[in-house]
Structure 1
Amino acid sequence: MNLAMGSVSYDFTGDVVLITGAARGLGRDFALSFARAGARVAVNDLAGRDLGDGVPYETGTAGDLDKTVADAQALGAEVLAVPGDVTSEAHVSAMVDAVVERFGRLDILVNNAGVHSGAKAWEMTEAQWDAVVDVDLKAPWLCSKHAARHMVGREGGGRIITISSTSGLVGIPDQVNYQSAKHGVIGQIRTLALELAPHDVTVNAICPTVVSSPMLDHLVETGAAYFQEVARLCGASTVFPGLDNLEPVDVSHAVQWLASDAARYVTGIALPVDGGFTCK
C-alpha cells in the first residue's frame, strides 16, 4: 500500500454537485475530482471579498473561477458557473435554483467557501468577527437550507458535506471568530443530520488540518504575527515525519467517500483529515 498517494476512485456519473468557494484551493480540487468521476459540476465563488478594518482577504477572482470551469470541462464534465455571495440568502436561493434549472436536480452540496482573519480576542474588530462568522457559519446554513428544499421528498435523497476544520475540534489562540464558526459548523451538521435523515439526506463535516492552499499562502505571505504564533504553539500540523501540511487531494478523497454510496449510512459526523494532529 502506498500511503504517499492512494489510488481512490468513485463513479458519480449523472450526479449533480454544487461546490462553493471553488475558484481555487480546496474548492477547485473538489470540482476537478468530481469532474473526473463523471459528475455534472456547478461551481461558485465571489471575487475580492474584503474583511474590512484593514484586513483584506482575496477569495479569488473571476479569472480563477473561469479556470476552474475550463479545467473541469477539459476533463469532459458539464459545468455551470454560479458566482455569488453565499452570505446572502437571495444569492443562495438564486444559485441553487439556477443549478436545478440547468441540470434538473441537485444531488451533492459541498459547503467549502471560507475565510480567515485572526487577532487576539480583545483586539479583534467587529468587522473581522462578522465577516468570518458570516462566511464560515452562516453561509453553510443558507446553502444547506436551500439545497435541502430540493433534496427533501425526491427519490435518492442527497448528500451535504461542509468543510469545517481541526479548529472546530480543538482550541487554537488568536482566531476566536474562526474557532467559533468552525465549532458551530459541527453543531449545525449534527442537527441537520437528524432533521434530514428521514428524507435520505446525509449531512457530514470534514475537519482538515492545515492544507497547502492560497489561504495558507496568504497568511504566510502577510507575515501575520498571530499566524506565526499559532504555528509555534501547534507545531507541525501532522504527526507524520516530513509531512507538515496536507494536500487538497487528501481532503478530496474524504469528500468523495462521504458523497458516495459507500457512506450511505454515515451521517452527523465530523471527520478529521488531519494526519493525527488532533491526537497530540
Structure 2
Amino acid sequence: MGSVNYDFDGDVVLVTGAARGLGRDIALGFARSGAKVAINDLDGADVSDAIPYELASRDEFRATLADVEALGAEAIALPGDVTVEADVERVVGEVIDRFGRLDILINNAGVASFAKSWEMTEAQWDAVVDADLKGPFLCSKHAARHMITRDGGGRIITISSTSALVGIPDQVNYQSAKHGVIGQIRTLALELAPYGVTVNTICPTVVSSPLLDFAVETGKAYFQEVARLCGASTVFPGLDNLEPEDVTHAVQWLASDAARYVTGIALPVDGGFTCK
C-alpha cells in the first residue's frame, strides 16, 4: 500500500513530549506535511525520582528541533513542564506570539512507573497521574482558550493507551491516568464542539521507543507476566509492537479535514490487541 499524505500547509501544531520517541515522530510527520511546528519537552529536567528511567536529554531536544527544521518547517523548541500551569500558559503563549495562532495541539507528554498496587508509592502515583492526566488537561485548557476566541476551530488530540481499555498488572497509576484521559476528552469534545474544535484520543498498543527498550532490558519477567495474562500485544503474526509512524498517521487523520466531524472518540491503534 502507498503512503498517506496530508496537507497541513500553514497550520500551527504544538507537540508535547516531542524530544524523542512517538512525540518526535509526530513532530516530524507534521513538518513533512507543511505545518509550522512547536515542540515541547522538559529539556533534560527530571520529573521525579519515582520515574525509573532517564527522560529525554537536552541534546535529544535540540536534535529533534534541528531535524524538524531540516525538513523545511518553521519550528520552535519550547522547554516546559506540562504539569506546571505557569509553564503551560507560557508555552502556549509563545507559540501564539511566534506564529500568530495555534491550530493543533498534540498532548503526547507522559511517563510511566511500575509497581503492584499494594506496593506503589504515593510519589509513583503522583508523578504518573500528574504527567499523564493533569498535563493534557492543562495544555488543552490553555489551547482551548485561544481556539474558542478565533474563527477556524482547532484540533486537540491526546495520546492515551490500550492500558486505558484493558487491565494490565503493575500499572494502576498509568491505567487510571490513561482511562481518565478518555473521560477528559469526551467532556472537552462536548464543550468545544460549538466552537469548531474537535477533541479525541488515540490508544496505541506497545510502540517502539526508548522507553520500550528500557522496559524490555530491565523488566523481562514483567513482560512475561503481562504476556501470560494479556496475550501478545498485537494479533498479527510476527508483529510484536507498532512503529511510531503507525500512530502518527492516525494523529494526522484526526487533525485533518477528513475527520472534521470526528470528536470525542478513543481510537485504538493497537494491532487488534483490544479485540481479543
Q: Is this a same-fold pair by TM over 0.5?
A: yes
Q: 2:227 aligns with which of 225, 228, 231?
A: 231
Measured against aligned partners, the alpha-carbon deviations of 1:63-103 in whole angstroms (never above 9, x if no partner) come to 11111111011100000000111000000000000000000
Quote the offset at 1:50 in angstroms: 4.5
The residue that corresponds to 1:183 in the other structure is 179
Q: 2:17 aligns with which of 21, 30, 46?
A: 21
Confirm or deny that 1:49 pairs with 2:46: yes
CA contact (8 A) 1:50 1:56 kept: no
The residue that corresponds to 2:244 in the other structure is 248
Confirm or deny that 1:159 pairs with 2:170: no
RMSD: 1.2
CA contact (8 A) 1:48 1:57 kept: no
1:241–1:224: structure 2 CA closer, same or farther, 3 Å change rule?
A: closer
SS, match of residue 38 in structure 1 = coil
Measured against aligned partners, the alpha-carbon deviations of 1:182-205 in whole angstroms (never above 9, x if no partner) come to 000000000000000000000000
Higher mean displacement: 234-243 or 111-120: 234-243
The residue that corresponds to 1:143 in the other structure is 139
CA contact (8 A) 1:51 1:57 kept: no
SS, match of residue 203 in structure 1 = strand
SS, match of residue 132 in structure 2 = helix
Amino acid across the alignment from 1:150: H
Quote the offset at 1:155 in angstroms: 1.0
Structure 1 segments (4+ residues) deviating >3 Å: 224-228
What TM-score comes out, normalization by structure 2 length?
Answer: 0.97
The residue that corresponds to 1:196 in the other structure is 192
Q: Distance in 2 between matches of 1:75 and 1:22?
A: 16
Q: 2:267 aligns with which of 242, 252, 271?
A: 271
SS, match of residue 211 in structure 1 = coil
Amino acid across the alignment from 1:32: L
CA contact (8 A) 1:118 1:226 kept: no
CA contact (8 A) 1:112 1:163 kept: yes
CA contact (8 A) 1:19 1:44 kept: yes
Measured against aligned partners, the alpha-carbon deviations of 1:109-150 in whole angstroms (never above 9, x if no partner) come to 000001110110000000000000000000000000000011
Percent of paired sites with the same residue: 78
Q: Distance in 1 between matches of 2:219 and 2:239?
A: 22
What TM-score comes out, normalization by structure 1 length?
Answer: 0.95
Quote the offset at 1:48 in angstroms: 4.2
CA contact (8 A) 1:51 1:117 kept: no
The residue that corresponds to 2:63 in the other structure is 67
SS, match of residue 156 in structure 2 = strand
Confirm or deny that 1:110 pairs with 2:106: yes
SS, match of residue 199 in structure 2 = strand
SS, match of residue 160 in structure 1 = strand
Length, aligned pairs only: 275
CA contact (8 A) 1:48 1:58 kept: no
Quote the offset at 1:51 in angstroms: 3.3
Q: Distance in 1 between matches of 2:250 and 2:68?
A: 19
SS, match of residue 41 in structure 2 = coil
Higher mean displacement: 55-64 or 179-188: 55-64
Q: Distance in 2 between matches of 1:131 and 1:83?
A: 18
Confirm or deny that 1:37 pairs with 2:33: yes
Quote the offset at 1:58 in angstroms: 2.0
Q: Distance in 2 between matches of 1:83 and 1:259?
A: 24
The runs of 5 or more residues in structure 1 that have no matched partner are none
